[in-house]
Chains A and B, each alone.
Chain A
Amino acid sequence: MNRVGLQYLAGDLSGGNARCIAMLQAFQEAIRDYSTPPEKTLTRDLTSKIGGFVSFLIECRPLSMSMGNAIRFLKSRIARLPLTLSESEAKTTLCSDIDRFINEKIVLADKVILRHAAAKIRDGDVLLTYGSSCVVEMILLYAHELGKQFRVVVVDSHPMLEGQKLLRRLVVKGLSCIYTQLNAISYVMHEVTRVFLGASSIFSNGTVYSMVGTASVAMVAHAFRVPVLVCCEAYKFHERVQLDSICFNELGDPDAISKVPGRVDVNFLDNLTDKQKENLELLNLKYDATPSDYISVIVTDYGMIPPTSVPVIVREYRKEYLLI
C-alpha cells in the first residue's frame, strides 16, 4: 500500500487505468494479509481499514473519479458479504471479486472500445490525439495492425509532456506522426479528420473531465467541424454534475510551470522576493471539464453513445455492479 502511495507521489504511476489497477491490487494484497482482530466482525473492521488506506492514498495524491468508483464497488462488496462465510472464504471471494472487476471493467472494456473505435477509422484519415491516453494508444496501434492507412497528430502541452511517450511508442511501431504543442492546435486542426481523446471521468450531464487542455482541443475541433470521439471505460462514469473545472480539481506542483526543464535561460521567475511572490499565484491545474456540446460521441464498453446518454448508463450500470 505504501509503495503504491509513494509511486503516486513520485508521479511514476500516471494514467487513470494504471492508477486504479495498482490501487486495486494493493487492496488485494492488504486483504490477503488481513486477519480480523478478536471481538470484531470482518465486514466492519475491513471497511474501516480500507478507509484508512484510502485516506493515505488521498494524502499522496487526490483520488480520481474512477478510483472513487472502484473503492465504492469494493466497499459495497464487503458490506454485502454473507455473515455465514468464514474469514478465509470471505477473503478469497473479495480477492476474486477484485480480479473480476479489473478484468471486466478495465481490460475487457478496453478491448471492446478498441473494436468500436477502430471501425470509425478510415483510410486516409488524419487522427488527432491529446496527451497520452492508453486506450487511444491501443486504438491507434490496433487500427495500424489492421492495415489502415492514416496519420496521427499528437498534441502535447507543458509541463507533463506525456505526449512524447506516446509519440515514441507510435513512431517505433511505424505510424507516421506529427508532433506539436497545444498552442499550435488551430493550425493543425485544418487537416484533421477525427479527434480521439481519453478521459479521466465523465459526469452524468455529459461533461468530460480530463487532462487539462482537453477542453480547448475539443472546442477547436468543434469550431472546425471535426468530430470528437471520447474513449472512456464505463466504470469511470460518475453521477456527479459539474459545470466548470475550478470547483473540483487537482492542483499540481507550481514549480513545474514556473520552470522549464533543461532550459536554464528561462529563469524569469527565479529570485523573486517574498513580497513580490505575494502578488503571484502559480496555477497548475491538472484537469478540466469539457462541456458535452463539444463532444460528438463517447466510445465506451457499452457501445458508442451520445453524451446525453451518460445518465442512462450510470443508472443501469450502478444497478448492474451491485448485482455482481
Chain B
Amino acid sequence: MGAQKKGATARVSEDPEELARHPLQAILLADSFTTKFRPITLERPKVLLPLVNIPMINYTLAWLESAGVEEVFVFCCAHSKQVIDYLESSEWSSQPNFSVTTIESHNSISAGDALRLIYERNVIHGDFVLISGDTVSNMSLTQALQEHKDRRKKDANAIMTMVVKQSKPSPITQQSRLGTDELFMAINPVTKQLLYYEDKAEYSKGFISLDKTLIADNPSVILHNDKQDCYIDICSQEVLSLFTDNFDYQHLRRHFVKGLLVDDIMGYKIFTHEIHSSYAARIDNFRSYDTISKDIIQRWTYPFVPDVLCGSSAIKVERQGTYRASDVTLSRSAQFGSFTFIGQGTKIGTDTKISHSVIGERCTIGSNVTIEGSYIWNNVTIEDGCQLRNAIVCDGVILKSGAVLQPGVILSFKVVVGQQFVVPAYSKVSLLQQPTQQDSDEELEYADSTSGTGELRSDKLNGDIAPDLSETASELGTGGVGYIWTVFEGAYDEEWRHSVAPIPTDKLVKLMLDKDEDEELLTQDGNVISASRELKTDSDGNGSEDDDNEDSRDDYVSFEKEVEATFLRAVHENVKVDLAVLEVNALRLSYNMASVDCGGAIFYSMMKLAVESPHNSASELHRNAADIVTTWQKLLKSFLHDIDEEIEVILKFEEMCLESAKEFAALFPQILHLLYDKEILQEDAILRWADEKEGADESDKVFLKRSEKFIQWLREAEEEEDDEDE
C-alpha cells in the first residue's frame, strides 16, 4: 500500500492528508565523518563497533523500527563494504515491514556530501528522520512527529525539529557527561523555536555573544546551557534541497543549522522537541562510549538492552546488573562484580576480579587478572596477572602475562602487548602506523570541523598495512606487536577530555583553580556572565577547597541578604527576639560566618528598614531609626560580644552612609549617640574607632569630623569618671 502510493506521487503533494500516508523514512548516516575513534576506525567502521557486545547500528535500527519508521536508507562511506556485508547478513535485510536500503559512496567527506548524494537519488518523499548510526535512543517519535507536522501546516518554513534533552554539563570541565562540549542554545519558550546554537563557545573569553535582533524580535528567549543535542532530527524534504543549494554546507550543525539561523532571507525555521523521561544520546567520543555503555547496562535504554536485543542467544540478567551468556566458563574463585557483561564462550580463570566492565565473546582471561571499567571485545586473550583499568581492548588483542593497561588506553585490533609491559595512560596502540603525512592537514580540517577522511580510511583499508614486527617489538615490550601513536603537541593536554577513563581528580582540582583565577580576572573586567555565577556555586558544592576572597565575598553578600530577609520577616510578623536570634545564628552557621559579620549584617538591615520606611525629613528618619533600634536592640546586642565587633558595626555604618544610604550621612553623629545611649556600643568602641580613623586619609575622616563633638564629649566623660575613681 505504501509502496503504491509512493510510486503514484513522486513529489510531495501539498495536501497534508496525502502527506500523512507516506511511509515514514529515515536516513541513517553510517559514518560520523570524524576521527575521534581512531585508530579503531581505521580498520572497522564506527557503526559496527560493539556497544555492550552488539554493533552500534543495531541499536539505532532497532529504535527506528520501534518508532514506526518503515524505510531506512543507510548511507555508507568509509568501509562501506563492511557495513553492507553486515547488513545483508543480519536480520535487518529480511524484516517484513522495515526495509533497509544501503547507499554507497566513496568520495563523500561530510554529512553535507552524503545528503546531497541522497537528494540526487530522489528517494525521500516526505518528512524523514535524520540520524547517525551511532545513536542510542528509546524515545517515542509520535509526539515529535505530530508537532512537526502541525507546525508545517501552519508555517511551511518550519523545516526541521531537533530533539534535545536535559543534561547539565560539569561546571568544571564545561563538558557534558557524554564528553561533548558545553552547548549553548537560545530557544523561544513558547514556540520552541531554536534561535541560537553554539557548541564551540570559547571559555577563555567567558562570554558568548548573541545578536541583538534576536532579543529584539522575540518577546522571550531562554538561553540554555544545560541541554544536550541528541542528533535526532525530523526534517522536511527541503532540508535536502537546501544542502544542494548551499554546496559548501558540510557539517550538519556547524554549517547547516547555524547557516539557517543566520540566514534571514529564506526565513527557514528550526524547532526543538525536548524529551524528559526517555533516553537519547549519541556516541561521539570514547567518553560517551563509556557513559552510554553504562547506561545500557543499567537499563536506562530499555527495551534496547542486551538481553532483549540478542533475543535467542540467551543472555541472562542476574542480580546486581550482571549479564552473563549461557556458556561462560567462570572459575569458582573469580569475582564477578556489579554492572558487568560477559559474552558467550568466554573463559575466566581463578581469583580474577571483574567489575563495571564488558567482556565480549570467546575471550580467554587468565588468573589473578584485575579488570575495572574496561571494554574488552571479542577473541581477546589476557594472560595471568594482567591489570586493566578503564581501557578499550579490540578484537584479537593478546596481553601477555603481567601486562598493565593504565587508564584511558585504547588497543586496536590484534595488538600484542609484551610481558610485564606497562602501557602508559591515554595511549592509543594500533597495528597500523599513524598516518603521518595528512596529519597536519587533518588537524586543520578538524579545527574547521569538516574533518572528512572517508577516502583516506578506505585507502588504508586497501592495504598498505605493513606491520613490521621486528621494528615494533620494542615499542610494546618483548614479543609485542603494534605502534603506539604519538599524540600531537598540545593535544595531549586535551586527551583526558574524551577518554574512556574518568577524569582524574588532580585534573579537576587544577581546572577548578584555573577557573577561579579566570573568574577573578573577569570580575575585574566587570564582564562576568550570569551563567558562570550559577556554575560557580555548583563547583563549591563539589567540595572544592578554593576559599579565595572572591568566594567569601560573594558568600557574605548572599548571607547579608538572608539576614536582611530574616530580619524583615521578624519585623513584619512580630517574631520574638529570641527566635530571631536563633534564626540568625542558624544562618551564621550555614554560611560559616563569624558573629562579627552577623552584627554588621543585622545593623545594615535595621538601617535599611529605617531608610525604606516612609519619612519626610531627617528628624523623622532619625525617629524611625531610633524606634527600630529600640525594639531590636536585644537582637543586635546578642551578636556584639566584644569591642572589635562593635567597631565593625561602626565601620559598617560608615560604609552605608557613603554608599547605599546617603540620607544617613547627615545623621551620623546622632545615630552614633543613639547606639551609645542604648548601650549597643560602648564608649571604648567608639573611642577606639576614632583613634583608628585618626591616621586615615582625609576623605575617610568625613564622619569622624562630623561626630567630633560627640567623641569629645565622650572623652571628657571618661576623664571625669577616671577622676572620680581616683
Interface residues of A (CB under 8 A from B): 176, 178, 190-191
Contact = CB atoms under 8 A, between A and B. Distances in A.
Contacts of B338: 176
A191 B318 CA distance: 11
Interface of B: 319-320, 338
5 contacts: A176-B338, A178-B320, A190-B319, A191-B319, A191-B320
Ranked 5 nearest A-B pairs via Cβ: A191-B319, A176-B338, A190-B319, A178-B320, A191-B320
B595 to A, nearest CB: 24
Nearest to B319: A191
A176 B338 CA distance: 10
B541 to A, nearest CB: 11
Nearest to B338: A176
Contacts of A176: 338
Interface residues of chain B: helix, strand, loop or mixed (majority)? helix
B198 to A, nearest CB: 32
Contacts of A190: 319
Contacts of A191: 319-320
A191 B321 CA distance: 13
A178 B320 CA distance: 8
Contacts of B320: 178, 191
B699 to A, nearest CB: 50
A58 to B, nearest CB: 26
A190 B338 CA distance: 16
Nearest to A178: B320
A180 B338 CA distance: 17
Nearest to A191: B319
B680 to A, nearest CB: 26
A191 B338 CA distance: 13
Contacts of B319: 190-191
A154 to B, nearest CB: 15
A29 to B, nearest CB: 9
Contacts of A178: 320
A11 to B, nearest CB: 23
A6 to B, nearest CB: 15
Nearest to B579: A29
A178 B338 CA distance: 12
A27 to B, nearest CB: 16
A263 B320 CA distance: 29
Nearest to A176: B338
A191 B322 CA distance: 14
B278 to A, nearest CB: 14
B355 to A, nearest CB: 11
B234 to A, nearest CB: 24
Nearest to B321: A178
A169 to B, nearest CB: 15
A178 B299 CA distance: 13
A176 B320 CA distance: 10
A151 to B, nearest CB: 8
B668 to A, nearest CB: 39
A178 B319 CA distance: 10
A180 to B, nearest CB: 12
A192 B338 CA distance: 15
A98 B47 CA distance: 69
Nearest to B277: A262
A178 B298 CA distance: 11
Nearest to A187: B319
A191 B320 CA distance: 10
B260 to A, nearest CB: 35
Nearest to A151: B320
B277 to A, nearest CB: 9
Nearest to B578: A32
A234 B707 CA distance: 64
A176 B355 CA distance: 14
A190 B320 CA distance: 12
Nearest to A33: B576
B439 to A, nearest CB: 43
A233 B369 CA distance: 48
A7 B414 CA distance: 67
B583 to A, nearest CB: 14
B23 to A, nearest CB: 27
Nearest to A262: B277
